């Protein structure tokens, strides 16, 4: 059989090569399993030898369904499960479900622009997630199949640690009933657990096959940041030189902008690797340059290490599956290093050079300085041994819940826009507790800028807040939740890269999701990041969508 097989479209050898690469095999490994010489595999894949003699063996080795080799390309073969899933038409109900999820993500990314930058909406708009949550749950409840079947995406189950966390919060409230207050307690529980509820809802109502729509939305939001920065932020920044003015649609919060831009950069890197035909892929070098330029302008020097680690993280994930991914990751890394070197050398007012020098001299500089506020938590445990187990009570120490109500009289605070509404809940009196008076407030008074960042010495940190307010057990439960989320996102990204069909948008989205949790785990050291709806809710919803999309592709493969 030396004649060529010529079905319509790519010849079977091309499809065999694609299947072999997705099975993470080289030609020699396939030849050994097929018991032929390596050059025979090369001849098969180039089309000079008819593969039908080994059809059954190839289908078995490559884990393809019987008869796969004889199917024409339009009859699904390798990767067609994902092709068919992400291009299928939607029913009106599915379209509504998709638009609800996309709308939530778009609103969370832009709401502060309308409440703060242009002030078209009142400050109450910053609580929009509280309104969106029941809307999402109603959408879930309206689905007829809810309760009738269990999602195949069992890897997204976080029931046990969530239950442990809720129980610890309840026990902590009971044991600290004279210290806790209803509003901060409720906000504490809501801030930590509502993102998981949004994620669960997305898992239930997201129609598999719409990854491209979500990818386009994030790209659109990323481009929107550049327009907002050019039109609104830069004119102010030029005169003030205040890095807080570079915030995009995140209205005065440059930290959140940097977080979004790093997730966006990961998505762009994934698109350039797995979807080379998209305009975003062709513009990847330009987008990388703009992303890092904005991060440098924001001047949040404590995040430079996170930025560098993120670029390395993306490079490792892409390089593990695709040779092209190494190139894309290298381009991003070179862009970062070159941009950082240029800005630090030519724009000393940005004060990036001292940060680079400090880290070079002592790589653990930021970490050592950041651990200093942790001594207060150890002292707190010394005051009462029970605090080590269940904490001093939700919303009593340094959590975002405590901060929201403790700063009601300070319109310049980070929670200033929400202050009038928080003030109404606590009778207009700033909320304090005995433990916050003894530890948090003095620490804030002593807090100093380290290389331009107060975050390094402040008591604000999701890790510290958890340890102080719900003790080691509550802390461990939340660490397990975010640790599992990070591992799940990484496994999903690697798996989707392995099975991806050409131009499948899922690998890039899964890569971006991995970066979001990689950043959350790091940045919770610097601030109360696990309690910020505008970054945690999108991260959990993206994770749920990636898990569901991957499960749908697996199911389609099994059915074939």
Residue 149 backbone dihedrals phi, psi, to 5 degrees: -150, 160
Identify which has the larger pLDDT, 353 or 171. Answer: 171
Please give the pLDDT value at position 302. 56
Percentages (nearest 5) of helix, strand, coil residues in the chain: 70, 0, 25
Please give the pLDDT value at position 68. 74
- Taking alpha carbons only, the member of 190, 198, 213 closest to residue 139 is 198
Please give the pLDDT value at position 4. 39
Per-residue model confidence as pLDDT tens digits over 106-150: 999 999 999 988 989 888 888 899 999 999 999 999 875 544 444
530: confidence class by pLDDT, cuts 50, 70, 90: very high
Q: How far is CA 249 from CA 115, 259, 309, 535, in A?
A: 10, 12, 25, 13
Please give the pLDDT value at position 428. 61
Per-residue model confidence as pLDDT tens digits over 381-435: 999 999 999 999 999 999 999 998 887 655 455 445 566 666 566 566 788 899 9
529: confidence class by pLDDT, cuts 50, 70, 90: very high
Statement: residue 3 has pLDDT above 50: no
User: What's CA 372's distance to the chain center, in Å?
Assistant: 28
- Cα–Cα–Cα angle for 375, 381, 386, rounded to 5 degrees: 160
HSE toward the beta carbon, residue 95, CA cutoff 13 A? 5
73: confidence class by pLDDT, cuts 50, 70, 90: very low
The residue-averaged pLDDT of 280-301 equals: 83
Domains annotated on the chain, with CATH: 12-78 (1.10.260.40), 92-364+467-559 (no CATH), 367-441 (no CATH)
Q: Which helix (H) or strand (E) holds 238?
A: helix 234-240
Per-residue model confidence as pLDDT tens digits over 254-275: 889 999 999 999 999 999 988 8
Statement: residue 447 has pLDDT above 80: no
Q: How far is CA 207 from CA 60, 92, 220, in A?
A: 32, 11, 21
Lowest mean pLDDT among 63-67, 80-84, 278-282, 556-560: 80-84
Let me know if 219 is exposed, middle or buried by CB neighbors in 10 A (0-12, 13-18, 19+). Answer: buried
Statement: residue 85 has pLDDT above 70: no
Per-residue model confidence as pLDDT tens digits over 453-483: 666 778 999 999 999 999 999 999 999 999 9
Identify which has the larger pLDDT, 194 or 60. Answer: 194
Please give the pLDDT value at position 365. 65
Q: How far is CA 2 from CA 20, 30, 412, in A?
A: 22, 20, 79
Please give the pLDDT value at position 75. 40
Q: Share the mean pLDDT of the chain.
A: 82
Identify which has the larger pLDDT, 211 or 293. Answer: 211
Per-residue model confidence as pLDDT tens digits over 189-244: 999 999 999 999 999 999 988 999 999 999 999 999 999 999 998 898 888 777 77
- Taking alpha carbons only, the member of 390, 374, 541, 543 closest to residue 464 is 374
Q: How far is CA 332 from CA 229, 311, 335, 353, 460, in A?
A: 21, 7, 5, 20, 31
Helices and strands in the chain, H and E counts: 28, 0
Please give the pLDDT value at position 358. 58
Q: What is the C-alpha end-to-end distance of the chain, expressed in Å?
A: 28
- Taking alpha carbons only, the member of 467, 443, 471 closest to residue 457 is 443
Identify which has the larger pLDDT, 316 or 181. Answer: 181
503: confidence class by pLDDT, cuts 50, 70, 90: confident
Contact 500, 24 (CB under 8 A): no
520: confidence class by pLDDT, cuts 50, 70, 90: very high
Please give the pLDDT value at position 427. 60
The residue-averaged pLDDT of 508-535 equals: 94
Give the CA-trace dihedral at 245, 309, 536, 91, to 10 degrees. 110
Any alpha helices (H) in 320-413, and if so which ranges? 323-346, 352-361, 365-371, 374-383, 387-390, 400-406
Beta bridge partners of 146: 149
Per-residue model confidence as pLDDT tens digits over 310-357: 888 888 888 766 556 666 666 666 666 666 666 666 666 555 666 666
Statement: residue 535 has pLDDT above 70: yes
Neighbours of 434 (CB within 10 A): 12
Please give the pLDDT value at position 448. 63
Please give the pLDDT value at position 217. 97
Whole-model pTM over 0.85: no
């Amino acid at each position: 059989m030396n004649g060529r097989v010529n079905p319509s479209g790519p010849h079977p050898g091309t499809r065999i090569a694609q299947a072999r690469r997705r099975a993470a095999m080289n030609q020699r490994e396939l030849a050994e399993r097929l018991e032929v010489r390596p050059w025979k595999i090369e001849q098969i894949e180039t089309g000079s030898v008819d593969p039908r003699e080994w059809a059954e063996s190839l289908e078995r080795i490559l884990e393809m369904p019987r008869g796969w080799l004889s199917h024409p390309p339009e009859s699904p073969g390798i990767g067609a499960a994902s092709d068919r899933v992400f291009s299928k038409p939607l029913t009106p109900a599915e379209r509504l479900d998709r638009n609800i999820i996309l709308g939530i993500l778009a609103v969370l990314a832009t709401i502060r622009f309308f409440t703060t930058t242009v002030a078209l909406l009142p400050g109450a708009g910053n609580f929009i997630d509280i309104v969106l949550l029941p809307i999402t749950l109603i959408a879930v409840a309206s689905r007829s199949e809810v309760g009738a079947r269990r999602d195949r995406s069992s890897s997204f189950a976080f029931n046990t640690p969530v239950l442990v966390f809720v129980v610890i919060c309840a026990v902590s409230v009971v044991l600290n009933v004279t210290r806790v207050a209803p509003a901060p307690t409720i906000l504490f529980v809501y801030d930590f657990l509502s993102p998981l509820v949004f994620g669960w809802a997305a898992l239930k109502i997201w129609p598999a096959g719409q990854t491209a729509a979500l990818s386009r939305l994030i790209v659109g939001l990323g481009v929107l940041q550049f327009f907002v920065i050019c039109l609104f932020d830069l004119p102010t920044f030029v005169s003030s030189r205040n890095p807080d003015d570079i915030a995009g649609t995140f209205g005065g919060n440059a930290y959140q902008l940097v977080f979004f831009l790093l997730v966006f950069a990961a998505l762009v890197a994934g698109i350039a690797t797995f979807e080379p035909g998209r305009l975003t892929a062709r513009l990847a070098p330009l987008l990388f340059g703009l992303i890092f330029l904005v991060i440098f302008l924001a001047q949040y020097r404590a995040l430079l290490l996170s930025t560098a680690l993120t670029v390395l993280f993306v490079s490792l994930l892409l390089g593990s599956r695709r040779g092209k991914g190494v190139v894309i990751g290298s381009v991003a890394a070179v862009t970062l290093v070159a941009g950082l070197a240029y800005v630090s050398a030519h724009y000393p007012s940005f004060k990036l050079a001292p940060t680079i020098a400090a880290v070079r001299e002592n790589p653990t500089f930021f970490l050592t300085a950041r651990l200093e506020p942790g001594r207060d938590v150890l002292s707190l445990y010394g005051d009462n041994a029970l605090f080590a187990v269940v904490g001093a009570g939700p919303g009593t120490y340094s959590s975002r819940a405590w901060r929201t109500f403790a700063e009601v009289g300070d319109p310049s605070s980070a929670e200033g826009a929400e202050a009038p509404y928080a003030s109404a809940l606590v009778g207009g009196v700033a909320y304090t507790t005995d433990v916050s008076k003894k530890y948090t407030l003095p620490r804030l008074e002593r807090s100093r800028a380290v290389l331009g960042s107060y975050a390094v010495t402040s008591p604000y940190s999701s890790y510290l807040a958890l340890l102080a307010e719900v003790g080691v057990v509550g802390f461990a439960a939340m660490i397990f939740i975010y640790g599992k989320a990070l591992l799940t996102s990484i496994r999903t990204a690697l798996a989707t890269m392995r099975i991806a069909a050409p131009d499948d948008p899922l690998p890039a989205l899964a890569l971006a999701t991995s970066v979001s949790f990689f950043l959350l785990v790091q940045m919770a050291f610097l601030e109360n990041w696990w309690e910020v709806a505008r970054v945690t809710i999108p991260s959990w919803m993206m994770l749920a969508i990636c898990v569901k999309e991957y499960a749908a592709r697996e199911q389609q493969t099994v059915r074939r």
